[in-house]
């Protein structure tokens, strides 16, 4: 499996709108086993996004999905930057949609 | 919801054994919506653990579960230390077991 843990910084006051775009646009992506959007309670503009995919190829392919392209287009103006980013190799656990 | 993203460092060569203990011991915890154990591909001894709970109280209560106590007892000798740790407020997504 392939995983990503990443911090995304919204433009000021736009975190909620950005989260809504991600949650709405990034559903039902083939090979996506987990995709969680969370607020950083210590930083009003930041989101933590944790993802698990069956393969890295599935993740790469998702970027071409119309729904994802649409979410990226909508979300990009609300993104001020990115913070920590860790790639992982998930082994298992609970909530992997398998 | 309450979330944690944390890095755990195993003693040398014990990452796999530690991951197995976590995966075996930390199942069916009341209020746990997601619990994923992943390898850090850049550090042979490190694991990333991402968790989502319905409440922080559920997470706190889980630490008293016999299965969790057992896993902690088994795992503790194999833990060399902890790395980054971020608490989050999950908003939603896929793979939340709800």
The reply to whether residue B94 touches residue A27, judged by beta carbons under 8 angstroms, is yes
Which tokens is A75 given? 């979300």
Q: What is the tens place of the pLDDT at every residue in A42-92?
A: 999 999 999 999 999 999 999 999 999 999 999 999 999 999 999 999 999
The reply to whether residue B35 touches residue A88, judged by beta carbons under 8 angstroms, is no
- Predicted pLDDT at A21: 97
Domains of chain A by start residue, with CATH: 2-88 (3.30.70.100)
Rounded-to-10 torsion of CA A29, B86, B82, B27: -50
Helices (H), chain B: 15-25, 56-62, 66-75
Q: What's the mean per-residue pLDDT of chain B?
A: 96
Q: What is the tens place of the pLDDT at every residue in B21-55?
A: 999 999 899 999 999 999 999 999 999 999 999 99
Q: B24 to chain A, minimum CA–CA distance in Å?
A: 9
Q: Rounded to an integer, what distance in angstroms lies between the CA atom of residue B73 and that of residue B18? A: 11
Helix axis angle, B15-25 to B66-75, nearest 10°: 170
Of A27, A88, A95, the CB nearest to B38: A88
- Predicted pLDDT at A98: 52
């Amino acid at each position: 499996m392939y995983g990503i843990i990443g911090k995304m910084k919204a433009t000021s006051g736009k975190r909620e709108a950005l989260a809504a775009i991600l949650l709405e646009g990034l559903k039902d992506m083939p090979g996506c086993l987990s995709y969680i959007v969370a607020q950083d309670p210590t930083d009003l503009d930041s989101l933590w996004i944790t993802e698990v995919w069956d393969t890295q190829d599935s993740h790469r392919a998702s970027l071409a999905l119309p729904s994802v392209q649409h979410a990226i287009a909508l979300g990009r103006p609300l993104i001020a930057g990115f913070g920590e980013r860790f790639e992982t190799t998930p082994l298992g656990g609970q909530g992997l949609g398998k």
